[in-house]
Amino acid sequence: RGSAKKGGVGESMSAQKMEGKARETEVAEKVEEDPHKAFWSKQTDGTKVIADDPHLEGFADSLRYRYNQFVNVKRAIEENEGGLEVFSRGFEKFGLHRQSDGSVTYREWAPAAREVYLTGDFNNWDRRSHALTKDDFGVWSIRVQEGIPHSSRIKTVVVAPDGMNLDRIPAYASFCMQNTATTLYDAVFWDPTDEWKYKWEGPTHVKKPQSLRVYECHIGMGSNDPKIGSYREFAENILPHIAETGYTSIQIMAIMEHSYYASFGYHVTNFFAASSRCGTPEDLKYLIDTAHKLGLHVLMDIVHSHSSSNAMDGLSMFDGTDHQYFHGGAAGYHSMWDSRVFDYGKWEVLRFFLSNLRWWMDEYRFDGFRFDGVTSMLYKHHGINMAFSGGYNEYFGYQVDVDACVYMMLANEMLHTIYPDIVVTIAEDVSGMPTLCRPVEEGGIGFDYRLAMSIPDKFIEILEKRSDWDWDMGELCHTMTNRRWNEKTIAYLESHDQAMVGDKTIAMWLMDAEIYTGMSDKTWPTDRIERGIALHKMVRMLTYGLGGEGYLTFMGNEFGHPEWIDFPRAGNGWSYHHARRRWDLAYNEELRFKYLLKWEKNMHELAKKHPFCYDRSHQYVTIQDNGDKVIVFEKGDRLLFVFNFHPTKSFSDYKIGVLWTGNYKCVLDSDGWDTNGQGRVHWDVDHISSPEPWNNRPNSIQLFLPARTCQVYYCEDPDAPKPAAAESEPAVANGSTAQAKSAKK
């Protein structure tokens, strides 16, 4: 209680050593004094990242090799294809395209095929009337002079090397629909007339937010009713809720077509096709346009780490071989996911994926991507049965898939070059690979953010195995701050993973079955409900405030959604009961879920008025007292976060060391009446700092800390620089702020 523990989080974690701009300037001035940093900072061979992480020095050769491979592939693309900008527009060449004379061209890469034909509604499913011709690079093509009507179903007939006739869907198909007669998917030639094409109204893109507050969502689950929701329903009913709550970005799951709904969209069959379960391509454009008009940055959960093993309506065995897009033999199969693994060293695989990114950015106007399963891409072992202890030898060497690393470097290079003020890329990696979120030119892989995947796991472990008296404050702080220096992180308490069948939402862990009977606002709360609501607010704020440079939640968790996710399957009688979100709970004035939603809004409102969750934000943990169950840290511009996790004990005049001098006023309080608290903190009381050093800080204040509550104080000082301005209207690209304002109205 008296001082920060020696060697504790406040002292040792590099992410907490930033003392604002003055500290950054001091560090910059010391570069020349540090021979190690001075030497590596000047390198241009992919080893510049070593300047910030001396542990990488022993793996300089691996970094050089990886970077050289990237440079060589990029140079080859420039020499043979005209550069990444041209190479990534493969969707303009491959697939089906209507020409000015009404004819339709079709191109497909199938190097091992003996013959290829196009069939469908347009030729009464004649399997031999429209033969494609092959060039020297294994690309087959045809011009259908009579054209193909819009919305026609089509298939590709591939004659395999062994002579077998295979029905396939064009790899670049832009729309697919399930055939009710066969249950398999067919490609659909999507080419509506101008009258039926969606007319964009909002900005082309929304610029990347300074404070990334991500709302992860699944369109099919977005309905309150037990059914598959639609793009238009989501746009009209849920997007306003997201914007009003205070998020700056949405991350949409399961957009790429997948034949098995219960795969959550991760067993992709058709990479260029928007899922037809939720509507047409024009409907998806309406959703994204609506989001942009609300000022929301739109991210897509993209799956380039593996593919469905389906052959009849997927990429597997497309040309009759197992190694066209994928590794051949056992290396081409993911044993845990029952899916196919790509060979990123192949030229056409690179074209396919880089073009896929451009397609979603240009055709649908997505603003960025969350790359799924990056761990599986990084390593030849795909992370299977790997504990990842943190030893750097785990991140380099033969087990690394350098071709996959080069692909991700090319993808980030291409995206950040073409869309520099817009695109955001997020990596889902459980291994902790260093340099993942460092710039490509420095030797990194180039992502903007990585997900802090250890935070939800830690909270579930605590809630499942420990009593409230056994919560370890130092362990909590370590989990929140244990992230790589100079690599941005998105913190989250719950994503879709935490609520899958077999697990529980955080609200269910806290309140269990009483969440069904004890959430009425007309009755006095039970101890479990009172505890659950209090801790649900606290752990969200701790994660938001201390866990990273961005924040994410899965839809419904902002109001404590009570139930797990379970898609229709044979085991549950093909029920949609748990494949939806109970929005009615959040907006029922007679239920306490409304208080949890109000707390979410209050947190985001604080982040708007006094920004704290962004890159290079000041952060310093002052107290992590396990006896008192108290955590205190400074964050952002003059904000002090105070948490008392003690189950029963409140503290009067609790002395806290602070950096800033001035008047500390409460600007956020989990004990407020508006969020179902007890109103024990007086917001109008001024707390004037004293020049008495405490907790290794130059000043101190005394505060009242009610049990199981958290508060945020803002230090006012008329002589100090003004705080960072509140966020303005969302910035838009190729559009005006007025449009965003109009959308809000």
The pLDDT score that the predictor gives to residue 34 is 86
Confirm if 157 and 166 have CB atoms less than 8 A apart.
yes
Largest CA distance in the chain: 89
pLDDT band at 33 (very low <50, low <70, confident <90, very high): confident
The pLDDT score that the predictor gives to residue 32 is 54
Is the confidence at residue 2, as pLDDT, over 80? no
Residue 234 in domain:
no
pLDDT band at 744 (very low <50, low <70, confident <90, very high): very low
The pLDDT score that the predictor gives to residue 251 is 98
Q: How many residues belong to the chain?
A: 745
Among 175, 173, 169, which Cα is nearest to 311's?
Answer: 169
Which residue among the candidates 108, 372, 448, 625 is catalytic per the annotation?
372
Quick one: tokens of 330?
A: 């056992």
Residue of higher predicted confidence among 717 and 186: 186
Mean pLDDT of the chain: 92
- The CATH number of the domain holding residue 107 is 2.60.40.10
- The CATH number of the domain holding residue 695 is 2.60.40.1180
Quick one: tokens of 442?
A: 């420095």
The pLDDT score that the predictor gives to residue 660 is 95
Average pLDDT, integer, range 315-322: 98
Residue 663 in domain:
yes
Is the confidence at residue 738, as pLDDT, over 60? no
The pLDDT score that the predictor gives to residue 730 is 40
Percent of the chain with pLDDT over 70: 92
The pLDDT score that the predictor gives to residue 718 is 62
For residue 521, the tally of other CB atoms under 10 A from its CB is 14
- What does the alpha-carbon distance between residue 157 and residue 131 come to, in Å, rounded to a whole number? 9
> Which 3 state secondary structure label does DSSP give 547?
coil
For residue 134, the tally of other CB atoms under 10 A from its CB is 16
The pLDDT score that the predictor gives to residue 720 is 57
Strand 550-554 relative to strand 212-218, pairing: parallel
Average pLDDT, integer, range 417-430: 98
428 has catalytic annotation: yes
Which residue among the candidates 233, 313, 367, 428 is catalytic per the annotation?
428
Query: Among 293-297, 362-366, 600-604, 738-742, which is the least confidently predicted range?
Result: 738-742
Query: Among 18-27, 207-216, 315-324, which is the least confidently predicted range?
Result: 18-27
Number of domains in the chain: 2
pLDDT band at 166 (very low <50, low <70, confident <90, very high): very high
The pLDDT score that the predictor gives to residue 560 is 96
Q: Single out the residue in 164, 189, 214 at which a domain terminates.
A: 189
Burial label for 392, CB within 10 Å (0-12, 13-18, 19+), is middle
For residue 660, the tally of other CB atoms under 10 A from its CB is 20
Residue 150 in domain:
yes
Query: Among 158-172, 219-233, 496-510, 711-725, which is the least confidently predicted range?
Result: 711-725
Confirm if 396 and 339 have CB atoms less than 8 A apart.
no
Quick one: tokens of 711?
A: 């508060």
Looking at the structure, tell me whether residues 18 and 98 fall in a common domain.
no
Distances, alpha carbon 579 to alpha carbons 228, 269, 287, 567, in Å = 8, 21, 20, 5
pLDDT band at 725 (very low <50, low <70, confident <90, very high): very low
The pLDDT score that the predictor gives to residue 498 is 80
Is the confidence at residue 454, as pLDDT, over 60? yes
| Residues near 676 by beta carbon (within 8 Å), at least 6 away in sequence | 525, 533, 592, 595
Alpha helices by DSSP H, 384-521: 402-418, 454-465, 473-481, 506-511, 514-517
Residue 701 in domain:
yes
- What does the alpha-carbon distance between residue 485 and residue 580 come to, in Å, rounded to a whole number? 39
The pLDDT score that the predictor gives to residue 717 is 76
Express each pLDDT in 633-653 by its tens digit. 999 989 999 999 999 999 999
The pLDDT score that the predictor gives to residue 502 is 63
The pLDDT score that the predictor gives to residue 64 is 98
The pLDDT score that the predictor gives to residue 503 is 74
pLDDT band at 15 (very low <50, low <70, confident <90, very high): very low
Burial label for 397, CB within 10 Å (0-12, 13-18, 19+), is exposed
Query: Residue 159 is part of which domain span?
Result: 92-189
Residue 121 in domain:
yes
Residue 407 in domain:
no
Confirm if 356 and 322 have CB atoms less than 8 A apart.
no
- What does the alpha-carbon distance between residue 82 and residue 175 come to, in Å, rounded to a whole number? 29
Express each pLDDT in 240-289 by its tens digit. 999 999 999 999 999 999 999 999 899 999 999 999 999 999 999 999 99
Average pLDDT, integer, range 324-331: 97
Write out the H or E segment, with its range, that includes residue 141. strand 139-144
313 has catalytic annotation: no
The pLDDT score that the predictor gives to residue 9 is 34
Q: Single out the residue in 173, 189, 205 at which a domain terminates.
A: 189
Query: Among 117-121, 268-272, 441-445, 685-689, which is the least confidently predicted range?
Result: 685-689
pLDDT band at 692 (very low <50, low <70, confident <90, very high): very high
Residue 581 in domain:
no
Residue 226 in domain:
no
- Burial pattern 203-215, b for ≥16 Cβ within 10 A else e, equals bbbbbbbebbbbb
Is the confidence at residue 724, as pLDDT, over 60? no
Average pLDDT, integer, range 122-150: 98
Average pLDDT, integer, range 208-219: 97
Looking at the structure, tell me whether residues 110 and 15 fall in a common domain.
no
Express each pLDDT in 387-409 by its tens digit. 999 899 999 999 999 999 999 99
Is the confidence at residue 20, as pLDDT, over 80? no
Confirm if 339 and 330 have CB atoms less than 8 A apart.
no
Is the confidence at residue 472, as pLDDT, over 70? yes
Q: Single out the residue in 174, 189, 204 at which a domain terminates.
A: 189
pLDDT band at 24 (very low <50, low <70, confident <90, very high): very low
Residue of higher predicted confidence among 233 and 737: 233
